[in-house]
Structure 1
Amino acid sequence: MARGAVFVIAMLQLLLVNDLTVGPRWLAPAIELIMLIPLSIATAWTQVRVRSATADHHWEAIRNYRLWIRRTAILLTAVVSLINCFALLQLVRRLLEGHGGSAQTLLVDALNIWVTNVIIFALWYWSTDRGGPPTCGLTKRAEADFLFPQMTLSDRELDNWIPGFVDYLFLAFTNATAFSPTDTLPLSARAKLLMMTEAMISLLTVALVAARAVNILA
C-alpha cells in the first residue's frame, strides 16, 4: 500500500492547476516514479528470497537488503516532502504577491497539497515507527514511537498486534484535521516532531491558502 501511496502522490502533483512544481509539471512525478520502480523491484525480490532462505547467511543478506530498502524509502519520502513543501511555498508566495490564480483553482490546489501532505506523513510514520517495516521479523523491534489504542487492550489476540499502513494513514489524517493527537499518542521525540511538522503544514494550507480563496469567492 505504501508504494501505491507514492503513485497517488505523483498523480496528485500532475493534477495541480497552477504552475507550482519544480521545473516542468511532469518532472517531480517522474523523479518519484523512477525512484519507486527499483524500490518495488527490490522489495519483491527480497520477498522471494525470504521464502527460500534456510541458512543464517541467507537471513543476513535479506536483513542487509531490507535496511537498504528502508533507507531508500526514507530518501524517497524526503524528496516527496520537499516537493510538496515547495508547491505550498510557491502558492503562498503567489498569494502574497496577488498572483495566485482564480479562487476556484486556489481551492483545488490547496486541497491537493493538503491531501498530499496527509499521505506523505503517513509514509513518514510508517517508515520510522519501531524501526520501520523492513526490520519486522529480522531484528528485535525498537521501542514504539506511537501508542495505538490496540496496544492498550488486554486481549491476548492483540498482544502481537502491529499497525499497518492504513493505521498510519488514519493517524496522519486525524492529525492534519485536528492539529493534535486524537486516539493515537506520540511517544518518542521524533514522533512528536513529525506530528508538529504535519500539523504546521496543514494549518498553513487551511488557514492561509484556503481562507484567502474563500475571501475571494465572497
Structure 2
Amino acid sequence: MLSAPSAIRRESFWPARVAILAVVALQVTLNERVTVGPNWLLPGLEVLLLIPLSVVRGLHARRLHLGTAGNVVVSHATARTFAFGLIALLNVANLLSLLLLVESLLHGSKATGRLLLVDALDIWVTNIIVYALWYWELDRGGPLQRQSGAAARRDWLFTPMTLPDGGQSWHPTFVDYLFLSFTNATAFSPTDTLPLTPAAKVLMMLQAGISLLTLALVASRAVNILS
C-alpha cells in the first residue's frame, strides 16, 4: 500500500538524466579509434532508451507522490531492470573504449599524445558518472523505493546516517552518489561512505580498478611525452 503523500520525500530524477546525457556527450567527443562503430551509434541508442525510461519513471513518481493506485503499463520492477540495462550499456561502452585505448597504446598508435590524453580523461570522467548512476540506482532498492519510505536495507552507510537520530532527517541525493563515485575513483577506496553489501563492494572494486588502469595509461603516456 502506498504511503500518504505527506510522508513521501520527493527526489528529482533530473540530475540522473542530466548525468546520462553528459555521458552521451562525452562518448560523442571520443575519437572513433576508441569507439565501437561510429562515435554516435551507441550514444544514439542510449538516448532512445532514456526517453521511454524517463516517461515511465515520471509516471511512477507522480503516482507515488499523489498516493494513487492507478495502473502503469510498465511495473516498477520492470522499469528498474530497464534502468539497470541502460546503465550497463553505458558501462560496457566505456569499458570497450578503454580496451581499445589500451590496444592503441600497445600497438604504437600514430595519434598524438594530446589526443590520447583527452580520450583517457574522457573515459575516466565517464567512469565516475556511470558508477554514480550504479550507486544511485542500487542503494536501498532504487530512488522510488527510497522516496516511498519502504526502502530495503542500506547498501552504503553515509556519514550523516551515523548521527544520533540515525540520519532520519537526512537522505542521500544523486550528488551524494556522484561524490562517492568521485572519491572512490581518486582514492581507490571508501572515504566517508562505507559499502555494506556485497554488490556495493563489488561495484566499488570494479570502479577503482578501471580508474587505476585509466590513470596508469595517462601517467605512462605523459612520461613518454616528457621523455
Tell me whether the two structures share a fold, i.e. TM-score over 0.5. Answer: yes
Q: Is the 8 A contact 1:84 1:113 kept in 2?
A: yes
> Could you say which residue in structure 2 is the equivalent of 1:187?
196
2:182 equivalent in structure 1: 173
Preserved CA contact (<8 Å) 1:104 1:213:
no
1:213 aligns with 2:217: no
Q: Distance in 2 between matches of 1:36 and 1:177?
A: 28
2:59 is matched with which residue: 45, 53, 58? 45
Aligned to 1:161: 170
Contact 2:156/2:197 (8 A) holds in 1: yes
**Contact preservation (8 Å) 1:74, 1:127:** yes
**Which stretch shows the higher mean deviation, 84-93 or 40-49?**
40-49
For 1:45 and 1:122, the matched residues in 2 are separated by: 23
C-alpha distance in structure 2 between counterparts of 1:170 and 1:11, whole Å = 20
Once residues 148 and 52 of structure 1 are traced to their aligned partners in structure 2, the CA distance between those partners, rounded to angstroms, is 29
Q: Find the aligned partners of 2:174 and 2:140 in 1 and give their Cα distance.
A: 13
1:74 equivalenced with 2:84 (yes/no): yes
> What per-residue deviation string (whole Å, max 9, x for no partner) do you get for residues 158-208 of structure 1?
41422111000000000000001101111111111100000000000001x
Structure 2: runs of 5 or more not aligned = 1-14
From 17, 25, 40, the counterpart of 1:26: 40
- Contact 1:69 1:134 survives alignment (8 Å): no
Matching of residues 63-142 of structure 1 within 5 Å? 65-99=75-109, 101-138=111-148, 140-142=150-152
- TM-score, length basis structure 2: 0.87
Give the alignment's Cα RMSD to 1 decimal. 2.0
1:53-94 deviation per Cα after TM superposition (whole angstroms, max 9, x unaligned) = 44xxx16x4696322221111000001100000000000011
Kept after mapping to 2: 8 A contact 1:145/1:187: yes
How far, CA to CA, are the matches of 2:134 and 2:197 in structure 1?
Answer: 14
Paired residues, what number? Answer: 212
Q: Give the 4+ runs in structure 1 shifted more than 4 A.
A: 61-64
Match of 2:31 in 1: 17
What's the counterpart of residue 10 of structure 2? none
SS in 2 for 1:183: coil
Structure 1 unpaired stretches of 5+:
none
Does the residue aligned with 1:19 lie in a helix, a strand or coil?
helix
The question of 1:36 aligning with 2:46 is answered: no
Cα pair 1:175 1:199 within 8 Å, conserved: yes
Alpha-carbon offset, residue 19 of structure 1:
2.0
Look up the SS of the partner of 1:39 in the other structure. Answer: helix
Aligned-pair identity (%)? 47
CA deviation string 1:112-152 (max 9, x = no partner): 00000000000000111111112235473111011100000
d(CA) in 2 for partners of 1:146, 1:138: 18
Which residue number in structure 1 is paired with residue 4 of structure 2? none
Relative to the length of structure 1, the TM-score reads 0.90
